[in-house]
Amino acid sequence: MEALRPVRRTLLRDTAYAAIRDAIVRGELPPGDAVRDADLAERLGLSRAPVREALARLAEEGLVESKPQSYTRVTRLEPRAVREAAVVVRAMHELAVRAAVPRLTAEDVAVMREANRRFESATRAGVVGEALRAGDELRDVLVRACGNRAVAATIARHTPLIRRLEWQQFAAERALRSAGLHERLIDACAEGDADGAAGVTARIWRALEELADDPGERNVPDEPPELLEPNVL
């Protein structure tokens, strides 16, 4: 699995968290799968401690669930949870855009245009991971420029739930429409039009809220799979 490779021994808790989160988002650890700290630690080349801390954080974010002395597993992809997360993230991005636009430099705008170029190129090539990364890089310019750490933390906290759905239901036609909206967003930013940029941002994120209503393979049996050993967070 690409996301579950040995990692550098720096910031082990955060690195373990990112690796496991990405494996869940990509579907490499699918809904309902049991996750054991010992197995993950071995695959990542880490001790159990940072993996347990990472799993605890993922549980807080709704990507894994656990029953003490029984199991830890990847959660089902629940449309309601995705919609709720998308509403929060949309509000935070709108807030970020309004604060960021007056602060943006020509270099910031150029970085956004280049990110959108890569987003569109990756979308046409069907390279989902690269497309999603490029979209993140575009939006990250605005989040950084807004200078609000609480906004950035809230976005980081709730985005993985949405990203799972984006990865599962990525469609080139829909993504290319997003590229067009990105371009309108960038143009508004370049013109210093904070209201216009916030309006386009709202449209982008409402489309993701609607995506949660699309049919898909989201459910797995309610009962956890049998485990060889209990996993305790």
The domain that holds 154 is classified in CATH as 1.20.120.530
167 and 67 part of one domain: no
Q: pLDDT at position 69, please?
A: 75
Q: How confident is the model over 125-136, as pLDDT tens digits?
A: 989 999 999 999
Polymer length in residues for the chain: 233
85 and 110 part of one domain: yes
Q: pLDDT at position 222, please?
A: 37
Q: pLDDT at position 89, please?
A: 95
Q: pLDDT at position 1, please?
A: 55
36 and 83 part of one domain: no
Q: pLDDT at position 211, please?
A: 78
Task: Give pTM, 2 decimals.
Answer: 0.79
Q: pLDDT at position 168, please?
A: 81
Residue 189 lies in a domain: yes
Do the beta carbons of residue 66 and residue 233 sit within 8 Å? yes
83 and 185 part of one domain: yes
Beta-ladder partners of 65:
73
Q: pLDDT at position 42, please?
A: 93
Number of folded domains that form the chain = 2
Residue 162 lies in a domain: yes
Q: pLDDT at position 5, please?
A: 67
pLDDT tens, N- to C-terminus, the chain (233 residues): 566 666 554 578 888 999 999 999 998 999 999 999 999 999 999 999 999 999 999 998 899 998 877 889 999 988 888 899 999 999 999 999 999 999 999 999 999 999 999 999 999 998 999 999 999 999 999 999 999 999 999 999 999 989 888 888 888 788 888 999 999 999 999 999 999 999 999 999 988 888 777 644 444 333 333 332 333 33
* Distance in angstroms (rounded) separating the CA atoms of residues 120 and 130: 10
**What is the domain range of residue 128?**
79-211
Q: pLDDT at position 10, please?
A: 53
206 and 131 part of one domain: yes
